[in-house]
Structure 1
């Protein structure tokens, strides 16, 4: 698994330390080489040159600050969520609430899949807060 993660990086390397190469190590090395050959053939056939993702440092953190601002604007009231201006984000209708929670769950799983763990954790906490409010805990 670690070798596979390193292989996804353009300059990734996995260094294995051992007195001898075990069967498991040899299998992992062979499988990685097989996949690499297959990927290189596919890239050559389709004219693809592998590149690393280039993302600015600030862009990696911008969404965190945006989330904090939007979360700060929402206030929980006895009938659901309201923004600071007093407009209802949704009524505390059980059907609408369940639908909203399911949408948040999907966003949470997508964020985790995109390795945006802070966002996934924030969504998880929001889901818990809504479920606890719904159950009156």
Structure 2
């Protein structure tokens, strides 16, 4: 049995047995915390809680900074290949290529394009099932 409770900004991990993965994760967390505390001490920084209202956070989530939203039909134009929807083989190949492109976009932090690839993949998978 393994579980995590988040309570007042603290993660409480509980389990029947301590695994190697858990020990490594805890050790890494402690290592990073130590580095952060040392940096804060050397630079006379006192950690503070964020004082942001939930409304402010939600407003920020709606704002697209720097890039215009991509229209769904534009995702096909931005792909470096043509989607083949004429056969089972073409659909399967296109789905695989779109999945690879989705991961490439995510790696480049182009999450909106990655999400549109995901959506296009879903629609192609539905078409594949209907064939």
Q: Which range, TM-score by smaller chain?
A: 0.3 to 0.5
- Tell me the TM-score normalised to structure 2 length: 0.43
Alignment TM-score, normalising by the size of structure 1: 0.41
